[in-house]
Structure 1
Amino acid sequence: MIEVITKGVLFGLLLAVMLGPVFFALIQNSIIKGFKAGIYMALGIAIADTAYIFLMYFSVKLFENNDTVSVWMGGLGGLIILVTGILSLKKKSVRLEEQQVNTQRSSFFKQFAKGFVLNGINPFVLLYWLGVMTLVTKSYHYDQGEVIVFFTGIIGTLLISDFSKVALSHRLRAWVTPKRLNIMNKVVGVALILFSFRLFYHAIEHFN
């Protein structure tokens, strides 16, 4: 079980440094609206991810005994993660915009909903979690308990990471330079491409 937890934490750290729109929106919102607003938004992001994880888990389990579907899901999951990795390698660096701090209080619901919707309406997030779930159930062959531990490790790591981003948002603005962003993008891209190869191998092995 320690190995499962470790993989979940490592995968969570990998996802935490993915530089998508949510990454920048969280930091930007924390700078403009303040610490509490950033925390509320981070919770909304985590709940959206958790909802997608549950949806993908039951979707994968529904077809787990169908060999043809297993091959297709392995190939599709590998393709999704491969494309994510390639996009990460090619992603252009951007700077956080300078904006004035807004000291007005923001409601929990408004900021929570902002994080939930921003993360939830992106169809690529749904496809990405499908790829991760396929990797876990088809390639790692985790049982239900191990799947729960693995994704708990991911979500827990993402929450701690997002809370840290909120707390350090002003310092992160100065730290997030184009050069450092390029390095982070390439590291994440290579790691995801390697994960995709694991899924492709599983699909070919299952097909044979």
Structure 2
Amino acid sequence: MVNALLKGITLGLLLAISVGPIVFTVIKQSLNNGTKGGLAFIAGISLSDIILVILANLFTNLFTTLNEHKQVLATIASIFLILVGVYYLFFKKVKVTAEGAQSLTFNTGDYLKIFTMGFIMNVFNPGIIIFWLTTSTTFIGNTLEHRIIIFTTALFLALAADVLKVLLANNLRKRLTPKNIHRINQLNGIILIGFGVVIIFLQ
């Protein structure tokens, strides 16, 4: 059991420190939409991770098939990242007060949209699919109980790391000027477009 826990911690830390478009978007969502918006976004990411882990462990053949079509998934992910990047680079407007804190008036539908974006961005990320497929294959020789411990621990640590990013970003947001928040939006857009283009060229 201790061995399984250590594997889960290692896996969770690896996922938590991995750098990709999702990391920057988590921070950006928190800066734009406050703590609740950031938490809604990572809730979508977390749900997609849970679903992918379950599918990877129960339907290895299905994930193998998805891996065989990773070029299609990569293309979808690239287009999605580029479109979102273009939106944040050129069209996204952030409402802020004179102190730099945003005037946030969201309803349930707005949070649902943020949640859905987090879910879609993560579930169509070919890197995440390959990550969970690889790890589930690696630990396939472990007992069911050990695999539950491994992946539950990993998912918990990844979620905790994302929550920490949201809280840190929200504290930073209170100290930012409207111009700086706008520039961060533009930087996030450039990063997303860059990741989308790189994924296309790596196919």
TM tier, smaller: 0.5 to 0.7
Who is 2:125 aligned against?
Answer: 122
Contact 1:33 1:105 in 2 (8 A): no
CA pair 171-7 structure 1, distance change in 2 beyond 3 A: farther
Who is 2:31 aligned against?
Answer: 31
Alignment of 1:54-93 (within 5 A): 54-60=54-60
Alignment of 1:100-111 (within 5 A): 100=94, 101=96, 102-106=102-106, 107-111=110-114
Who is 1:53 aligned against?
Answer: 53
- Cα distance in 1 for partners of 2:16, 2:172 equals 14
How many percent of aligned residue pairs carry the same amino acid? 30
- Cα distance in 2 for partners of 1:111, 1:131 equals 29
CA pair 14-171 structure 1, distance change in 2 beyond 3 A: farther
Cα shift at 1:15? 0.8
**How does the TM-score come out when normalised to structure 1?**
0.59
Contact 2:34 2:170 in 1 (8 A): no
In structure 2, give the amino acid aligned to 1:52: L
Alpha-carbon deviations, 1:172-206, whole Å to 9, x = none? 799xxxxxxxxxxxxxxxxxxxxxxxxxxxxxxxx
Who is 2:154 aligned against?
Answer: 154
Cα shift at 1:130? 0.5
Q: Which one of 132, 135, 142 corresponds to residue 135 of structure 2? A: 132
Who is 1:21 aligned against?
Answer: 21
Contact 2:35 2:170 in 1 (8 A): no
- Cα distance in 1 for partners of 2:156, 2:127 equals 21
Cα shift at 1:170? 5.3
CA pair 172-3 structure 1, distance change in 2 beyond 3 A: farther
Contact 1:41 1:113 in 2 (8 A): yes
Who is 1:42 aligned against?
Answer: 42
Alpha-carbon deviations, 1:86-127, whole Å to 9, x = none? xxxxxxxxxxx9x85543333331121111011012233212
- Cα distance in 1 for partners of 2:111, 2:57 equals 29
- Cα distance in 1 for partners of 2:158, 2:172 equals 17
**How does the TM-score come out when normalised to structure 2?**
0.61
- Cα distance in 2 for partners of 1:34, 1:10 equals 30
CA RMSD of aligned residues (A): 2.6
Contact 1:34 1:103 in 2 (8 A): no
- Where in structure 1 do 4 or more consecutive aligned residues deviate above 2 Å? 99-108, 170-174
Q: Unaligned regions of 5+ residues in structure 2, if any?
A: 68-88, 97-101, 176-203
- Cα distance in 2 for partners of 1:115, 1:128 equals 18
In structure 1, give the amino acid aligned to 2:10: L
Q: Unaligned regions of 5+ residues in structure 1, if any?
A: 64-72, 77-96, 175-208
Alpha-carbon deviations, 1:24-60, whole Å to 9, x = none? 0000110111000001111110110111111111123
